[in-house]
Structure formats: structure tokens, C-alpha cells
Structure 1
Amino acid sequence: MRKKILSATIFLLIASLQLTHAQTPLFGRDSTVTGTQTFALIMGISKYQHVRPLSFADKDAEMFRDYLKSPGGGSVKDGNIYCLLNEQASSINFWTKGFQWLKSKKLQKGDKLFIYLAGHGDAIDEDQFFFLSYDCNPQGDKNNYLVAGTIQLFNLKKKIADETGKGVEVVFVMDACRTNELPGGQEGQSFLNSAVSEAKAGEIIMLAAAAGEESLEDASIGNGHGLFTWYLVNGLTGVADSITTPDNQVTLEEIQKYVSKNVPAVAQQQFRRKQDPFFCCNEQSDKVISKVNTSYLQQWLNDQKKSKRGPGNSFEGVMTYRQRRNINADTSLIESYNLFNRAISSNRISGNNSAEYYFQQMSKRFPGTPYTLDAKSSLAVEFISAAQKKVDRFLACGDNLSAKEKQENYQAAIKLQQAIELVREDDPLYAQSLMNRVYFLKASGDFGPNGTNGNTSDAFSNAFAALRIDRNGAYIHARLAQLHLQNNNLDSAYYYADKATKIAPKWPCAFTILAQIKKQQQQKNPDNSNTKKPKLPGKNSIGFTIGGGLAHDVPVFVRDANSPFLGVTGNNNPAFDLGIIYQAGVGGMVDIRPTVQVVFDGGDLVYERPPTSGVQFETIKLENISVNAYVPLIFRLSKNRIAPFVMLGPGFNFILSQDKNSRTNIPVKRGVVLGDLGLGVDIGIKKAGIILSPEIKYTRGLTNQYRDGGTIYTNALSSLKKQGFTFHLYIRKK
């Protein structure tokens, strides 16, 4: 019996020791604290894996974290701070583990949340702006940011809006834009801060620099820090408290004035540079950001010259000793959790005795525990990281498309789908953002034994599915080029490779693929050294149209001795229509555009009688609801984004209803043939992924419209044909 007790004691001791060194589960809100609490999600990166490193961004993040933990920052507990630095600061950890941690804290009205980011930032344009995580690998071209491991700030703003909508006070601090030596260049830095400052989500915003400016960092600033963060922490500690009326509180207005006074002055005097921090918003100027602890403030002022030099590689947001002591967990759960972590450390992610195996056991036996939830997010991180490495390999032109690599890509896509299901409940937006990678990896062309993974058609379908998500993804166009090349469709391969080079002109891999295609074209046509760039027919696309204008019926009067009329004329009437279109390329610069419209129109026929008859002019109103079907040809005059065109073709008008009065006097035929001629221009709107086509159109009836009803009105006509001038707007997908 003693041996059993001793064995159990040793096991529990070993398990607890392992927990202190392995990953630890993330526990929820501290229920022993009543009232509101403060939380922080912090990220700082100096040691970038693929882009130019920085010097002090990690130390800035550590300083901001240490400020929050200090009496000056409110003595925020370790368990309320999630801090990712350098190698830990991947986009996957941020979105998957960081926001699972935040969800577990169950933030409520009145809580305060600091989100602090220090590192590189860049942008593609004013709508697509990013904070660059440790593993970001754009391969020299900004257009790869969407798939290269970044934190898309638009999505982060949505997260912030979710919290502010609950009444949480969010303070978003970003000390980025530290260099123009990124793929986005000066323009990207300008886009970044202007976009972040304009995309408000109810939070307080503090940015290190205005649009187009760099955020300075130097060893001389606080013994090695960023200029903005140094003065921000200095001010929040208490230095920004009003000198004339100190009240031991620092408001947004006070910290803004303090930082905005000192940062530009030091930047100009010591570095001959321009840096103007940005704060928002003035309506919250009285909001208290920090409460001053006078004794800590004095200590801070005394220690300013002894700033900490940390390694810049910590990872916070785990259990404290007290939390561990209070855990009442099943020993078999702890054992499974430790086995899970050992499998992760040994890179045994799937298969027998793997991390996936132990997670499945934990999910069945211990669902919903902090250990199981942490294992869930950790496994998702491993699956997403493996898939991202495959994408990064392709971006670096390392994908040789061997049978083995195709199979590995496909399997990575399957595991990524599993990861998406693991994170979807906690973060559906992030889960959805990963789908383009799933389709991209499945488009490698691996069909498995006996085609169990699909066929060539499935590979193309997956590539086009990825393209629907990211229409300007150069990497997807490059993959389509490779697929066409594998199937010996050289013209199509050239088209997509050429497009990839235009979307991402600084990405070497696109040009490598294009060169391979040119080489094969030359081998296939050795006598044609000046092979012209082939053009694919226009893409098939669906859309809708709306239009209006003037329409009238054109009558031809027949004078008869028995006729009571001297003549007939037609008047203009407004016409309105709406419908759907389908445009398809038929070759070269010619498209066909079948169109179906519902038309509301009519016309006035004015019959003139002799003056002696009493009523000299009698008006017959023709009011119809009809359906028009057109099959015109579109002759495009340019291949540019803005391209004029000529439209010409037949149409058919089918009357659905005619008003009772005109039907009695002038019955019309159910269907007539029309002819259309139009001039318009296609305008490609890149960001929206649509083509807008305004068009002016002339329509003329080619067949007679009225039926001989034997009335005095029809007897006075030899023909009655439609005519109209209308303006139409066509909107369709690219």
C-alpha cells in the first residue's frame, strides 16, 4: 500500500513539475476579483525571420508590459496579460492562441483592454493594411502580404469593435512604421497609419507617427527604445499629469499633449527627423487612461537612467503558481496533457501516439477543460503553421511540384481544414481567412492513388475557388500557370503567369514561372522567336443591368376615304427596365452578352381629326409590361482596364400585358423583333472585383407591332414599330 501511495505521489510531483515547464492551460477570468479588470494583448518583434530586423521593438513591448504590471500601471496580474515576443509572435499564435485567451477572460462592460503592437507595419493600399508578424514572408512584394503571415488590421478592428460593442474600453497602441525598407515602401507607410486612424471601431487610438512618417528607435532613447513608446510609458507613469493642477490621474488629453510635445521635439533636435504621433479621439479627451502611484512615479524617475535590458524573447499569459496550486484536475487529464506537449516538442503531430491522438482522447474524456482548450489551440497552431510553411515554400520558388511535394501539399490542406474547424467556434473570421490557403494547396495537382484526391478538373476548381477569395493573389495566378503548363496549355499558362508578374512585379517566382513557359513555347515553335503574348477570351461573368430613357411608337399613316383621321403621330414616353446579363468571350476582342430585361414602357399615338368633327386630336395611350431578350455582340476597342466598346445585335420583345383601353383600340402582337446599336465603356474596378459598363443604346423595331383588329385606329396604320433611346448601366463580376 505504501508503495502505491509513494508511486502516486511521485507521479503527481512529476506532473506538476512538467506543468511548470511545458505549455500551460489558459484559465478564465479571475473570479476572486470583484468589479472591472484590466487586460492586455501585447506583441513586440525585433527578430524577424524574413524581413529586416529591428533593434528595440521587443524591448518596447516588454516595457509596456512591465508598466502595466507595476503599481503605476495598476498592478495588472500576469494572468491578465498575453505577451508575444519575437519567435513566439507569429500571426498564427496571435489569432489562434491570443484570441482564445481573450475569449476565456470573458471581458465585460467597464473592463479595460490594451492592445499594443510594436514592430513592422506595411500596406498594399488604403484598404489593405497589416502588422507584420515574426513569420511574415512577402518575398519582396507587398501583394503577397495576404498569404504571407501577417496580422490584417482590418480584421483586428472588427475584433476591437466586438469588444467596444460590449462596453469594454479598448486602448489600441501601435508603434510601427519604423522603416520604409519594406515592399510597400514610403507609400505603404503612408497608407498604414492613415488607414488605421480612419478605421475607428470605438477605441482610443495611439499611433507612433502620422501618415508617411517613420517611428524612430535608438540606443540613446531610454537606454534602447522607440521614441514614441518611451515617452508614452513615461507619461502614463505620471509625468504627463498636469503640472498646474495635478490630480494623480492621466487623461487622454494629458497624455496626448505630453507625447505630442516631446516626441516631435526630440525627433527634430536629436535626429533631424519628423515624427508626429496620432491620438484619437477628442470626444474621449477626459477619459482617464492611468492613475498615478506617486511612490512608484518617484522610483521611476530615479531609475530612468537604468532602463532594463531584457532578452526580448519572453512569452507571458500563463498560469501563476497560485493558479496551479488551486487546480483540481484529474491525474489522467494531466498525464494526457503532458503527453500531448511531449508529442508537440518531438514534432509528432499526427499518427499513433501523436499530439492529435492525445487531443482526441482529451476531447472525449475531458471536454471543455482549460487543458483541453489549450491543446485544441496548440494543435490548430501546428496544423496552420505546417500549411503556412508550404505556402511560404511556394512563394520562395522552392516548390518543385514533385509527386511527393504535391502529396504533402494536399495533406497539409486537409490538416488545415481540421485546424479551421478547431478555431471556427472561437474565431469564425480568422477561420474563413484561411480558406484561400486550403484551396491553393489542394490545387497542387495531387490526385492520390487511383485518383482518390480528385483529378485535373478538381485541381483547377480549387485554384479558381482560391481566386474567388483573393482575386489579386499573384500566387494563385502563378499556380494556375503551373497547372496549365502541366497540361501543355501553353497559351493559358502564359496568360496567368504574365498576370502574376503584373500583380506582383517584385516577386521573382512569377518571372521564373513565366520564363519556363517562354522556354517551352520556344521549343514548341522554334521558328517563331517573336511569339506574341496570347490573350484569353474575355472571362465569363454574370451581372445585372438597369436603365431608362425615352421610347415611342413610330406609326405610318394610311389615308383612306373612309378614314375619320387626317394623320397619326407618336409622342415620347419614359421607359424603365431592369434585368440580368451573362457576358462570355467568343474570341479575341469579341464577347457575346445575352440579356433578359423586364421593361415598363409605352407610347402615345395622337390621331388628328378634321376641325369640323369637334375633338380635333384624340390620344390613345399604349402602356405595356414586356420582357426583352437580347443577344448582342460586344466589340471591345481596347484591352485596358478602361475599354470602350460597340454593341450590335438583335433582340426580341414579348408583351406580358397591355392596358385594357389600348388593347380594345390598338391590339398589339405578343412578340416583335428588335435591332440594337450602342456605345459604351467597360471600367474595371479592381478593389471591388467588378466591371462597370455605362452604355447609350438606340433600339428600333424591325417587325410590325400592331395586330389588325379591324378598328378605325388600326385601319389608319400601315405599320407601327418601336423606337427608343436609353441609357443603361451594366454591373458584372470580373
Structure 2
Amino acid sequence: MRKALIVGIDHYQHLKDLSGCVNDARSMTAALERHGDAEASVNFDQPRLLTAARPAGFVARAELREAVRRLFDDDAEIALFYFAGHGWVDDTGGFLCASDCYDGNDGLALSEVMTFANKSAARNKIIVLDSCHSGVAANHPMLRGTAEISSGVTILTASTEEQYADETPGGGAGVFTSLFVDALDGAAANLVGEITPGSVYAHIDQSLGSWAQRPVFKTNVKRFVSLRKVPAPIPLDQLRALTRHFPTPDHDFPLDPSYEPERSPDQLADPSIPPPDPERTEVFQVLQSYAKVNLLRPVGAPHMWHAAIGSRSCRLTPLGKHYWRLVDKGRL
């Protein structure tokens, strides 16, 4: 069972209204509800979506707190909480502002959210916050720089404790959530099509410059869980064939013109160049697939075509060696 509570609040009774949080919540719901595979199989089963759109939308603090409590109140495989809205921080910690807040410190305290998550029997507790000062989540109020998270908890936030969370140019969406959704759509997928919290953070981290808001990542897990699956950039059977084509990770695969099916007119007329071999050209197609996803590179040639015609070789890249070892250990 994979549960998700997704909250987006644009409308506030006493605080300044926002413009992109409801859009962000709906984008996250669409990205998480189903996998990106060809079957569009169910991922998070019927995510609960709470939104407060202007002018009549409303999410009260009591409703928000109860929804968070219920999210973490069982032994789900994943319990994911996403919030987009106003955030507040003071000397006592951070707060998530509901529609009925008068000032920030009467919102839902992040310490309460963390208590629900830390005590939850869910195997993976994931908290995603696109709000100002959200990096304060799980920080000990008396021990600056110290986070308190139990086993199985992962936190991804849009900004540090001191920073604001920016919107995309023109408004209508948060920078952090836009990158998060891009990651879920496949930008953070590995070669088997899985997207984890770690790969999502890496994508967001690389996309934001040193002078922009900085995302925060805190985790206490033994192994990352997959948040979503998308089509793999290379068929799994080809990936598993790595150890067949390369008996060792440092093996140089020798090539010659018989592997390359394409010939120029001069090469077709040259009797010293052997004709294409159907079995070898089939293997060469797999090797080219490896090259496209940076699993191997030609040696002494700019492209695989030149390596074959010039009777050079190809060898695994560091990424290729990593996946070779995964195949060799039966991990794929």
C-alpha cells in the first residue's frame, strides 16, 4: 500500500494569498498517481488531495493536522506527505500555514509532523515541503544543525531554514515542485526506469545554481524506495547481457568492419573490407545501445562506426562497470 497526502494552499484568510501552490499540488498528484510505464499502472492509490484555491477554498489547521496524522497512522509501504503553501519559522521551530492562520506560528508545527512520521509504522515516510524556511524540518530547536529523524524517514525541502521558496518566472508554479515533477517524469530515472528520493534530489540540486534557493535533503534509510517507474532507456534483457558481451568489467571488446552494416560506396568496392556479418551486426546494435546511455565508449575513435570500420575496440565506462557488477551479482 502506497499512500500520499498532497496539500496545496493558495487562499489564506489573514495572510497574503499565493498563486501556484494548488497547481503544484495537482501536478504532484498527476505525477504520483500512476507509473509512467506503457500500462500506466497504479502507483499511489488514490492520493488524497487537499487544496485551497482562491477565493473560496479553505484548508483549516485542524483538518490539515488530522490528515497528516491519518496518513502516518498505519503500516503502509510508503506514506508520502507533500505540502505547498506558506511556511514560517521562529526560535521554537517551523510551521506549515493553513488557510485560517493569523500569523505563522499558529500553523501546524513541523515538530508535530515529525512526531507523526517518526512514530509511524509505515516502512518509508517521505516528507516533501515546497514552502519558505522548510529546511528547518526535523531540526532540534536547541541544537542548531542537528536533525532528529527515525529510521525510514526522508525529507526533501524547497529551501533552507533561512531561505524563501521561489516561484517559476511568471508565477503559477514553484521552482522546486516543477523540478520535482520533471524528475518524476523521467529526468531522474536510472537505467531500469526507477526514480528514488535520492535521484530526485540530485536532479533538483544540479538544476539550481549556487545563488538560487538551495534544496535540503535529510534521510535515515538503509535503502531508497522507488517513487515511480518510467520506461527504461534500454531494454532490461540488453542490460542483463552486459556480462555476456564483457566477461570482465575491464574487457576490451574487439571490433572490425564485419560488425558495422553501413558502408560507403568506396568501402563496398574495397575487397579488403569484409562484408557485414548478420550475427555480429546484431551484437553491434546492442553495443550501440550501451553507448547511447553511456555504458561504454569506443577506444581510439570518435564514434562506434569509426571503431568498427577502423578495427578498434570498445570498453565499459565507470557507469557501465557499475551496472556490470549489478548484473554479475544478480541485482537486476
Aligned to 2:156: 206
Aligned to 1:226: 174
Aligned to 2:95: 130
- 63 and 111 in structure 1: CA distance in 2 versus 1, 3 angstrom threshold: same
- 48 and 83 in structure 1: CA distance in 2 versus 1, 3 angstrom threshold: same
The C-alpha deviation readout for 1:166-215, integer Å capped at 9, x for no partner, is 242111000100xxxxxxxxxxx488457388232331110111231221
Deviation at 1:74, TM superposition (A): 5.8
- 100 and 190 in structure 1: CA distance in 2 versus 1, 3 angstrom threshold: closer
Is 1:275 the counterpart of 2:213 in the alignment? Answer: yes
Deviation at 1:71, TM superposition (A): 2.6
Aligned to 2:127: 172
Is 1:53 the counterpart of 2:17 in the alignment? Answer: yes
- Alignment check: 8 A CA contact 1:237 1:290 kept: no
- Alignment check: 8 A CA contact 1:42 1:82 kept: yes
- Alignment check: 8 A CA contact 2:135 2:216 kept: no
Aligned to 1:253: 198
Q: 1:291 aligns with which of 204, 214, 228?
A: 228
- Alignment check: 8 A CA contact 2:9 2:21 kept: yes
- 239 and 190 in structure 1: CA distance in 2 versus 1, 3 angstrom threshold: closer
- Alignment check: 8 A CA contact 1:215 1:275 kept: yes
Secondary structure of 1:218's aligned partner: coil
The higher-RCO structure (CA 8 Å, 6+ apart) is 2
Counterpart CA distance in 2 for 1:237 and 1:247 is 14
Deviation at 1:76, TM superposition (A): 4.2
- 160 and 210 in structure 1: CA distance in 2 versus 1, 3 angstrom threshold: same
- Alignment check: 8 A CA contact 1:116 1:174 kept: yes
Counterpart CA distance in 1 for 2:59 and 2:150 is 24
Aligned to 1:413: none
Alignment of 1:385-396 (within 5 A): none
- Alignment check: 8 A CA contact 2:135 2:158 kept: no
Secondary structure of 2:96's aligned partner: strand
Secondary structure of 1:66's aligned partner: helix
Aligned to 2:139: 195
Aligned to 2:115: 158
The C-alpha deviation readout for 1:401-428, integer Å capped at 9, x for no partner, is xxxxxxxxxxxxxxxxxxxxxxxxxxxx
Secondary structure of 1:49's aligned partner: coil
Larger relative helix fraction = 1
Deviation at 1:43, TM superposition (A): 1.2
Aligned to 2:42: 75
Deviation at 1:130, TM superposition (A): 0.7
Deviation at 1:75, TM superposition (A): 2.5
Alignment of 1:604-623 (within 5 A): none
Counterpart CA distance in 2 for 1:128 and 1:77 is 30
The C-alpha deviation readout for 1:580-609, integer Å capped at 9, x for no partner, is xxxxxxxxxxxxxxxxxxxxxxxxxxxxxx
Secondary structure of 1:85's aligned partner: strand
Unaligned runs of 5+ in 2: 141-145, 233-332
- Alignment check: 8 A CA contact 1:41 1:116 kept: yes
Alignment of 1:6-21 (within 5 A): none
Alignment of 1:593-604 (within 5 A): none
RMSD over equivalenced CA pairs, Å: 2.8
Counterpart CA distance in 1 for 2:148 and 2:8 is 22
Aligned to 2:27: 63
- 85 and 254 in structure 1: CA distance in 2 versus 1, 3 angstrom threshold: same
Unaligned runs of 5+ in 1: 1-36, 178-188, 296-734
Alignment of 1:397-408 (within 5 A): none
Counterpart CA distance in 2 for 1:107 and 1:293 is 28
Alignment of 1:463-482 (within 5 A): none
- Alignment check: 8 A CA contact 1:236 1:289 kept: no
Secondary structure of 1:158's aligned partner: helix
TM-score normalized with structure 1 length:
0.28
Larger Rg: 1
Deviation at 1:289, TM superposition (A): 2.9
Deviation at 1:278, TM superposition (A): 0.9
TM-score normalized with structure 2 length:
0.59
Secondary structure of 2:139's aligned partner: helix
Counterpart CA distance in 1 for 2:150 and 2:126 is 11
Counterpart CA distance in 2 for 1:250 and 1:95 is 29
Secondary structure of 2:226's aligned partner: strand
Secondary structure of 1:258's aligned partner: helix
Counterpart CA distance in 2 for 1:100 and 1:206 is 19
Counterpart CA distance in 2 for 1:137 and 1:89 is 14
Q: 2:59 aligns with which of 68, 89, 105?
A: 89
The C-alpha deviation readout for 1:262-298, integer Å capped at 9, x for no partner, is 1x23xx7xxxx521111122755x5133232229xxx
Secondary structure of 1:281's aligned partner: strand
Identity of aligned residues (%): 22
Counterpart CA distance in 2 for 1:200 and 1:100 is 17
